Amino acid sequence: MNTAPTPLPDAPRIAIIGTGVMGSTILTALRVAGWPQDRITAAARSEGNAKSVRENHGIVVELDAAAAVDGADAVILAVKPQDMATALGQIADKVKEGALVITVAAALPTSFYEERLPEGTPVVRAMPNTPSIVARGATGIAAGANATPSHLQLAAGMLRATGLVVAVDEAQIDAVAAISGSGPAYFYAFVEALTEAGVAQGLDRILATQLAAQTLVGSAFLLQHSGESPQHLRQGVSSKGGTTLAALSAMENAGLQGVVAAGVNAAVARARELSHELTATEDQA
C-alpha cells in the first residue's frame, strides 16, 4: 500500500507558532497530508525543541516567532492561552496583510486577537482534540469578524488532515470544547469505570481494559459507518428482559444522563470563566 503523501505544490505558506502537543500534531498531520516542507515554518521556545522538530520534519524552525511568520499566508497559533498576548505582541508587526490567523487556544474569543493584530486581519478560532494526533480528531472552527467563508474553507482544508472539521458560530465553540475537546477524557474515564467493573467481576485488569477499549472503539466505528442513530443501535443490543436492558436501566436510575449533562455544563461554565479571567487580566496589564 502506497502511503506517500500527495504533493501540494500550490499550498499556502504556513507558520506554526508553538510546537507543543497541538502544534506538533497539526504539523505532523500537514506533512502526512502532503504539505511541502518548504511551505511550513515553525517557532519553538527552546533550541532543543527546535532541533527535534527540524530533524523530524525537515522544516525551518525559528526561535523568533516574528521571523517565523514573516511572509506567511496563514499563521497557526498553538501557544497556551496565558501566553497568547505575548505571542501576539511578538508577531503583530510581521503578519502580512490578508494573512489568515488560526488559533487553537481555548477560552480566548476572536476579538482578543483582532484587537492585537493589524486591522482587518481574518481570525478563525479552532477547537481540536487530542485524537488529532492519530488523524481521528474532531475540530470545530468559527469565523471572527473579518473572516470570510473562503477563510473558513482554507482553515478547514489545513485542519482536515487531523480528522473531522465542522464549522460553527463562535457562540457555540465552548459547547464544542465541552463535547469533543474534553470528550476524550470522558471516554477514558468510562473505560476506567468499565475496567474496574470488570475487575470486580473477576476479570484480569489488562483483559478488562482491552475489552472495554475495543468495545467502545468498535461501537463508535459502527455508529459512524452504519448510518443508524445511536438510539437505534442501542435498541438493537437491548433485548426485552435481557442483561443489557437491565444494565442500562440501572445506569439511568443511577443518573447517567444527569451526570453527563452536569459534566458538560461544568466544562462550558469553566471555559467562560477562563475567558473572563484571561481577558480581564490582559485589560488590567
191-242 pLDDT, tens digit per residue, is 999 999 999 999 999 999 999 999 999 999 999 999 999 999 999 999 999 9
Return the DSSP state at 38.
G
Return the DSSP state at 12.
P
- Percent of the chain at pLDDT > 70 equals 95
User: Which pLDDT value is given to residue 11?
Assistant: 85
| CB neighbours of residue 35 within 10 Å | 24
Those residues whose C-beta lies under 8 Å from the C-beta of residue 79, and which sit 6 or more positions away, are 17, 18, 20, 23, 87, 105
Secondary structure class of 126 (helix, strand, coil): strand
Those residues whose C-beta lies under 8 Å from the C-beta of residue 21, and which sit 6 or more positions away, are 130, 133
| pLDDT band, very low/low/confident/very high, at 4 (cuts 50, 70, 90) | very low
Contact of 172 with 140, CB cutoff 8 Å: yes
Those residues whose C-beta lies under 8 Å from the C-beta of residue 281, and which sit 6 or more positions away, are none
Domains contained in the chain, CATH given: 14-170 (3.40.50.720), 183-254 (1.10.3730.10)
